Amino acid sequence: MAGYVPHTDEEIDAMLAFVGVASLDELYGAVPGALRLAGGLDLAPGLSEPDVLAAVSGLAGRNRAAELVCFAGAGAYDHEIPAATRALAGRSEFVTAYTPYQPEVSQGVLQALFEYQTLLCRLSGMEISNASLYDGANACVEAANLAVAATGRQQLWVSQGLHPHWRQTLATFAAGTGHEMVEAPLADGTTRWPADGEPAAVIVQSPNFLGCLEDLHGARHAADAAGALMVVARDPVASGLLRTPGELGADVVVGEGQPFGIPLSYGGPYLGLFTTRQSLVRRLPGRLVGETVDTEGRRAYVTTLRAREQDIRREKASSNVCTNQTLMAVAAAIQLSWLGTAGLRELAVRCARGTRYCREALLAIDGVEPAAPAPVLREFAVRTPVPPTALVERLADEGFLAGVAVDEGFEGTDYQGSLLVAVTERRTRAEIDAFAAAFEKAVR
């Protein structure tokens, strides 16, 4: 197979000079040495493409993760994707669809996105949904931007229970926009809101990162007392069992749509969910698909209210998002349509029952304790006698991806050093029993 050199030496030198480093080794200096490939792949020169693919596939087959039973979550979950969802979402009409600037030739994908918006409004209890964002963290940032634009305030009250990566993303954007983030701490696994301040938004995740169900009535009270908007980050699967955030007073509901028809895929592409109230529709970020009629009175679909976007309003816009995740949104709509109301409830119930069974099995092990006493739905954190990173390594040798270590974003708290475990509908009783047995062995 001939060599492929995408850049000349002169181009590489120009790039290095522009970013201010002397060499490629310095450019990649942040990558630990143990993760770098020293000396290139051990492949004979001139191999054919099939031979190279066979050799690389053999290397990939040595990865333990390919065979591990997954009990990890923390925002990305090992859910079942039915063959119907894979087949329909993979149709060329959706995979190759581009931005529907010309609605007269884009009715199919526009209708699919309109249905997606309708389904999301039912899930969240809100009135308006956009046609998706990049991921949950991006949706949370856009909710903060909307609240700041709507209230004219710069402060944000952010629950420590919000996913730490989402908090980091908020902080990154806040460094440029000037938003002030005030972190509300957790006590017994749920949020304790400040007593004073003038926030634009109260941002809470329920179930939160530790899996605990938050008191959304309390968050609504805190928002009302401060004159702020209430932003709820919601695991969409939870809507199969719990009252919608809209029913509990949310002004904006965001979330990560990966559980619906989207594989884990090493972290993406995923799907940002965003819904809000009708009164805030003019500040809705990204794309919005509306229903109308054509000149002959037939039902038709169009993108609408684009004048609020940055490509039209420039610096006066409340968002710079002009695109979306069409294919991921279509996959989610297909999955939700396949499940239906009863199917979504069954999915949530199976997750909740499996989580309860697994949690009780782990807490029966000597030395394993709950990290928080608050009720959980399908994810929970436990403290163990063994550091979580070591526990994850030991259980990987037993064939399990044990969970996610709670560390970053929880420094100095009672929750740091615990292990976050998730159970989806894919986990059988036999798998949970085997996991608990291996867990007990690993903590001895």
Closest alpha carbon to 265 in 324, 328, 215, 351: 328
SS3 labels along 331-388: HHHHHHHHHHHHHHHHHHHHHHHHHHHHHHHHHCCCCCEECCCCCECCEEEEECCCCH
How many Å apart are CA 332 and CA 146, to the nearest integer?
Answer: 24
Q: Which amino acid is at 232?
A: V
For 11-24, what is each residue's pLDDT tens digit? 999 999 999 999 98
Predicted pLDDT at 65: 63
How many Å apart are CA 162 and CA 231, to the nearest integer?
Answer: 11
Closest alpha carbon to 204 in 176, 166, 241, 172: 166
Instruction: Please name the residue that has the structure tokens 């963290």.
Output: 137
Instruction: Please name the residue that has the structure tokens 């949104």.
Output: 329
How many Å apart are CA 402 and CA 418, to the nearest integer?
Answer: 12
Domain-wise residue ranges, the chain:
66-81+340-443, 83-333
For 224-280, what is each residue's pLDDT tens digit? 999 999 999 999 999 999 999 999 999 999 999 999 999 999 889 999 999 999 999
How many Å apart are CA 100 and CA 107, to the nearest integer?
Answer: 8
Q: Which amino acid is at 201?
A: A
The CATH number corresponding to 83-333 among 1.10.490.10, 3.40.640.10, 3.10.20.30, 3.40.190.10 equals 3.40.640.10
Contacts of 171 (CB under 8 A, 6+ apart): 181
Q: What are the strands of the beta sheet with 155-159, ordered from one edge? A: 128-129, 272-276, 252-256, 229-233, 199-205, 155-159, 180-184
The CATH number corresponding to 66-81+340-443 among 1.10.1270.20, 3.30.70.980, 3.90.1150.10, 3.30.360.10 equals 3.90.1150.10
Closest alpha carbon to 117 in 332, 407, 359: 332
Distance of CA 247 to the CA centre of its chain: 23
pLDDT tens across the length of the chain (444 residues): 445 567 889 999 999 999 999 998 899 888 888 888 877 788 888 888 888 888 988 888 887 666 799 999 999 999 999 999 999 999 998 888 888 888 888 999 999 999 999 999 999 999 999 999 999 999 999 999 999 999 999 999 999 999 999 999 999 999 988 999 999 999 999 999 999 999 999 999 999 999 999 999 999 999 999 999 999 999 999 999 999 999 999 999 999 999 999 999 988 999 999 999 999 998 999 889 999 999 999 999 999 887 666 667 777 777 878 788 999 999 999 999 999 999 999 999 999 999 999 999 999 999 999 999 999 999 999 999 999 999 999 999 999 999 999 999 999 999 999 999 999 999 999 999 999 999 999 998
Contacts of 36 (CB under 8 A, 6+ apart): 28
Neighbours of 181 (CB within 10 A): 18
Q: Is the CB of residue 333 less than 8 Å from the CB of residue 115?
A: yes
Distance of CA 349 to the CA centre of its chain: 21
- Angstrom distances, CA of residue 333 to CA of 123, 132, 248: 12, 11, 24
